[in-house]
Amino acid sequence: MRELIQLTAPDLMLAALLILALVGLTARMKLAIGVQLTIAAVRTTVQLLLIGLVLKSIFSNAELHWVVLMSTVMLAVAAWEILARQKRKLRGWWGFGISAFSMFISSFLITVLALVFVVRPDPWYTPQYTIPLLGMLLGNTMNGIALGMDRLVQTAWQQRSVIEQRLMLGQTAIEAIRDIRTDSMRAGMIPIINSMATAGIVSLPGMMTGQILAGSPPVEAVKYQILIMFLVTAGTGFGVITVLHLISHRMFDTRERLRFDKLLRTPQD
């Protein structure tokens, strides 16, 4: 196997020119997303460069407390990003708590199980395995949870009169929103199901591509990618189920009355 080809700053600048070209095109078409694209590109560059320095330090000092600290920061940021992408914002710290708990179920627990029972590095928290696995799980499950949460809250808000009519007809709270929860679950799972269905035919997933570029045998890279796909799918499913369950119960009071004032922010918030 050949050694990994090193990229230089001019190489990255050539790739950045594509983003600048896209920003110019969107500005010409008056699509009003040029600023967002520019900020996202700058954030990507700065954040990845910083995380590269942080990971270099953590890898050279493989202590459990540093791995836990890094993982906690990643979880908190992922939970915050889920809330930031919601059209209708959840109320207060409860919203952040439900988001963080769902990410903990979908990513932290799945990562620990994979490290202890499947990958089995020594020690089990070896940062070269722990942080990349957790990062891939957080990044992918975050999308599914955000989509499921947004679909549930938005659809329930739009159909609140229908839900209230079902409650008056004698249905329980869960029965009144069962079809909305089903649709929200489907929305949250569609991206990862599509990724699984097209992996190896339409696309070569990121981890597999990275390992091959780094010189790993293709068959070994495929094994790791299959593991990641299964972990991400399971994590996304568990995470979406958790967030839908918690939000569904939060929508109603103890007498099973629809109460969006308990769930959503008001203009004064």
Across 237-269, b (16+ Cβ under 10 Å) vs e yields bbbbbbbbebbbebbbeeeeebebeebbeeeee
Element at 179 (helix H, strand E):
helix 178-198
The DSSP secondary structure of 182-215, one letter per residue, reads: HHHHHHHHHHHHHHHHHBTTTB--HHHHHHHHTT
pLDDT band at 267 (very low <50, low <70, confident <90, very high): very low
Element at 79 (helix H, strand E):
helix 64-84
pLDDT band at 112 (very low <50, low <70, confident <90, very high): very high
Tens digit of each residue's pLDDT (9 = 90 or more) over 50-76: 988 888 888 888 788 889 998 999 999
Best CA proximity match to 100, nearest among 130, 150, 153, 141:
141
pTM (two decimals): 0.80
Whether the Cβ atoms of residue 87 and residue 150 lie closer than 8 Å to each other: yes
| Average pLDDT estimate for 258-262 | 74
Q: Evaluate if residue 213 carries a pLDDT over 80.
A: no
Angle at 63 between CA 59 and CA 69, to 5 degrees: 90
Read off the DSSP letter of residue 260.
Answer: G
Q: Evaluate if residue 162 carries a pLDDT over 70.
A: yes
| Average pLDDT estimate for 16-24 | 94
Q: Which range (28-42, 121-135, 188-202) has the least confidence?
A: 188-202
